[in-house]
């Protein structure tokens, strides 16, 4: 006899943040996925949000350095072209290395801890929870996550790109 899906529907969170907080995020509907076209659109929306939330970038006083993994939508030719047009630098990211992704080791880990044993009955409930969670974090939370990156990068290099605890 087949078992019902005990995990329910999954909702994908695409989020961009820096040491000052969340810049932009999209919560995809169940069964939606990220394609190169969607990622390209997200980057353009992120650029617009950056201009509003970080005006010093608009005046070229700070360079945008993007860290994303090597997922297919991220390395598509159209996305690379968009990144060139935006004049954003992309940090190299070794394949299969979540140890170097601040969203994995810091942001999502904290989110997962916060919603342990929480069940959502609708997309709107998830959206509300994400909004409230983001609002609950202060600038020190984000700065800490970014500050850990150089140390984690060194550990990955020392461990010859193997995972570590």
- Judged by phi (left if over 0) then psi (alpha if -120 to 50, else beta), residue 87 lies in left
Residue 79 burial by Cβ neighbours in a 10 Å radius (0-12, 13-18, 19+): buried
- Domains along the chain with CATH numbers: 12-159 (3.30.420.10)
pLDDT in tens, 137-148: 999 999 999 998
In the numeric block, which tokens belong to residue 131? 């909004």
E strand map for the chain: 13-18, 21-27, 65-66, 89-90
Return the percentage of the chain with pLDDT > 70, whole number: 85
12, 39 Cβ separation under 8 angstroms: no
Question: What mean pLDDT value characterizes the chain?
Answer: 86
pTM of the model: 0.83
Please give the Cα distance from 148 to 105 (Å, whole number): 9
Q: Give the tens place of pLDDT for each residue, 25-81.
A: 999 998 899 999 999 999 999 999 999 999 888 677 678 989 888 888 988 999 999
């Amino acid at each position: 006899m087949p078992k019902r899906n005990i995990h329910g529907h999954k909702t994908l969170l695409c989020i961009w943040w820096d040491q000052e907080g969340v810049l932009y995020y999209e919560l995809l509907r169940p069964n939606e996925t990220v394609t190169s076209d969607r990622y390209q659109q997200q980057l353009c929306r992120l650029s617009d949000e950056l201009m509003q939330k970080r005006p010093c970038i608009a005046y070229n006083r700070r360079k945008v350095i993007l860290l994303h993994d090597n997922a297919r939508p991220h390395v598509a030719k159209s996305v690379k072209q968009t990144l060139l047009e935006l004049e954003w630098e992309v940090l190299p990211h070794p394949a299969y290395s979540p140890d170097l992704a601040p969203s994995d080791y810091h942001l999502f880990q904290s989110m997962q801890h916060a919603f342990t044993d929480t069940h959502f009955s609708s997309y709107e409930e998830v959206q509300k929870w994400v909004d409230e969670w983001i609002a609950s974090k202060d600038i020190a939370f984000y700065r800490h996550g970014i500050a850990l990156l150089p140390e984690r990068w060194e550990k990955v290099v020392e461990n010859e790109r193997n995972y570590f605890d």
